[in-house]
Structure 1
C-alpha cells in the first residue's frame, strides 16, 4: 500500500476513533470516487477493503455493507474475474465478518453472485463458494427469527444458496433437515430428506445426492459409518425407503433404470401425491429418462421454478 493510501487510512481511522462514523464513511467514498474516475482501481479497492474492515470492527455494519457493494461495482468495472482468488477471498472475508442477520446480505448476495456469473469460467448459477457463504450465514440467522413466515422465507433462500454451494455445504444443509426431522418424530423423516435429494437431483449432482443421503441417515437413525452403500429400510418410514431406491436408480440413465423408475414411481405414487412431492418426482423422470408421466399431462420445468427469483 502506498504512503498516500496509508495516510488516508490513518485519517479515516482517526475519524472513526473520534466517533465521526458518518463523516468517515462519506469521506472515504469521496476519495474512492476520485480513484475510480482516474482508473486507479487498485488504490480504490485497497481503500474500500481497509475501510470496510475498520467499520466492521467498530460494528458500523450498514456503512461497511455500502463499501462492500462499492467494491463489487469496482470489480465489475475493472472486469476482475471471480477466478482472481485474492479479490474473491477478500470479498468473502468481509462478508463473513458481517452479522448473520445483517439486512444487507440479500442484496450483497445478488450483487456478488451476479458479478461471479459474468466470469466465463463460472457456472450459470454463480460461484459455489459465494453460495456456500450466503447460505450458511442465512441458515444460521434462523436461530434468531421468531416470525414463522419470515423464517420460512429465509430458509427457502438459504436452502437455494446451499444447494448451489460446495461439498462443504451438504452437512450444513442436511443437518438442519435432520434437526427438523428429530423435532417432528411423528412425521416420516423422508419428507425432510426429500428436499435435499430432489434439489440436488434437479442439478444432476448425484455425488451430492448420495452424500446428502449418507449424512442424513448417519445422523438421524443409524449413526454408523457402514451405511454408505447399503439400503436401510424402515417399516414406518416409506418415503425414506423410496428416496434410497430413487437415489440408486438415478445414478445410471439407462433403459433398464428407466423401467425401474416407472415401477418405483407406480408403487409409491399415491404416497408421493399425499405428501405433495409427486410432481417433483415426475419431473425427475422426465429429466433423467425422458418419461412423460405427469398426471396433469404437462411437464413443468421444475428446475426453472427452483432457480427463479434468486438473482432478481
Structure 2
C-alpha cells in the first residue's frame, strides 16, 4: 500500500493532468520518481510512474505516457524486481491503454519482454506476457507480430494463433491451407513444443472440415489402434504435416527421410520448408546438417510474408537453438 506522501503526490499530479497541464505533470512525475529511486524506495517510484502513465494515456498523451512506462520498467530492472503477477498486471493494464498507432508502444512491449527475460525464469520472456501481447495484436489483425508472441506464449495461445491463421487463410485460395497452418506447426516444433504444434494442426483441420461440410473438400478418416488421422486428398502438404507430427512421436530417421521423399514433389512447391525440415530432422531424428542458415533466418522466412507468395487480401501485420532437445510439456 502506498504511503500518505505518495498518495498526496499522486493525487496532486493527476489533478494537474486533469487540468490539462500535461507537460508540467509529465516532468514533475519524472523528477519525483527519480527522487524515490535515489532513496531506493522503488515501490513508491513504481506507484507514481504507473498511476501517472495511466492518467496521461487516458488523457490521450501517448508519448508522455509511454515515456513513464519505460521509466517504470527501468525501475523494475534497477530494483532487480522479478515479474510477479502484480507487476505484470500493471504493465498489461498500461499496454492496453496505449493507442496501437502510438510509436512508443512497440518499445514499451520490447522493453517489458526484455525485463522478464533477464529477471524471470524464461529466457524468451514471460509466457503470460507473450500471450497477452500476442492476443492484443491478434485482435488488431496484426498477424505478423501476434504469431511471434503467441508461439512462445502459454497453453492458451495455440487456439488464439490457430483462429488467427484460419481467419487469414479464409481470405485466400483453398489449396493454400497447409502454408498457413505451417506458420504455427513449424515454429512450435523448432522450439521443442510438439504438444502445441499438434494441437494447432488438429484445431485447424477441424475448422476446415466444419467449413466444408457441404462436400467442397474431400476428407478421409483413417483409424488405427494408436491414432486417428484425417487425409485430405486435395491437400498433400496438409497430410505431410500430420504425418510429420506422427513420425516425431513414434518414427525414426528412416521414416522421416521416407516421408520427405514421398512428398518431394509437393515440397518443391513451397518456399523455405527445406531448411526448416532440415532443422527438424536434426532436432528430432538426429540427422546432422551443415550450419548454412541459422534458426532466426528460417523463422524470418516463415514469418516474413504471405504464405501463398501472393499479395494478402488485407495488410496485416525467441526460439531454442537448433540442437536443443524437445521439451516435454505434458
For Structure 1 versus Structure 2, the TM-score category normalised by the shorter chain is 0.7 to 0.9
Number of equivalenced pairs: 290
**Separation in 2 of the partners of 1:14 and 1:28?**
12
Q: Is the 8 A contact 1:62 1:104 kept in 2?
A: yes
Q: Is the 8 A contact 1:105 1:134 kept in 2?
A: no
What is the aligned partner in structure 1 of residue 70 from structure 2? 69
Residue number among 266, 272, 277 corresponding to 1:271 in the alignment: 266
SS of the equivalent of 1:231 reads strand
Deviations 1:19-49 (A, max 9, x none): 1111111111111111111211111111111
Q: Is the 8 A contact 1:193 1:213 kept in 2?
A: yes
**Separation in 2 of the partners of 1:163 and 1:172?**
10
Query: What aligned pairs does 1:1-312 form with structure 2 within 5 A after superposition?
Result: 1-82=2-83, 84-119=84-119, 121-142=120-141, 155-222=143-210, 230-252=228-250, 256-276=251-271, 277-292=273-288, 300-302=293-295, 305-306=298-299
Deviation at 1:290, TM superposition (A): 1.6
Deviation at 1:219, TM superposition (A): 1.9
Q: Is the 8 A contact 2:143 2:164 kept in 1?
A: no
Q: Is the 8 A contact 2:95 2:109 kept in 1?
A: no
Q: Is the 8 A contact 1:189 1:240 kept in 2?
A: yes
Q: Where does the alignment leave 5 or more consecutive residues of structure 2 unmatched? A: 214-220, 302-317, 320-330
Q: Is the 8 A contact 2:130 2:149 kept in 1?
A: yes
Using CA pairs below 8 Å that are at least 6 residues apart, which structure has the higher relative contact order? 2
SS of the equivalent of 1:235 reads coil
SS of the equivalent of 1:91 reads helix
Q: Where does the alignment leave 5 or more consecutive residues of structure 1 unmatched? A: 143-153
Deviation at 1:270, TM superposition (A): 2.5
**Separation in 2 of the partners of 1:77 and 1:85?**
18
Deviation at 1:298, TM superposition (A): 5.6
TM-aligned CA distance change 1:227 to 1:175, over 3 Å: farther
Deviation at 1:289, TM superposition (A): 0.7
**Separation in 2 of the partners of 1:299 and 1:266?**
22
What is the aligned partner in structure 2 of residue 151 from structure 1? none
Deviation at 1:227, TM superposition (A): 11
Q: Is the 8 A contact 1:135 1:159 kept in 2?
A: yes
Structure 1 range deviating more: 182-191 or 23-32: 182-191
TM-aligned CA distance change 1:136 to 1:86, over 3 Å: same
**Separation in 2 of the partners of 1:57 and 1:125?**
31
Q: Is the 8 A contact 1:190 1:237 kept in 2?
A: yes
TM-aligned CA distance change 1:89 to 1:289, over 3 Å: same
Task: Compute the RMSD of aligned alpha carbons.
Answer: 2.6
Deviations 1:192-236 (A, max 9, x none): 111111010001101111111122112232379x99953111111
Structure 1 range deviating more: 62-71 or 89-98: 89-98
TM-aligned CA distance change 1:51 to 1:298, over 3 Å: closer
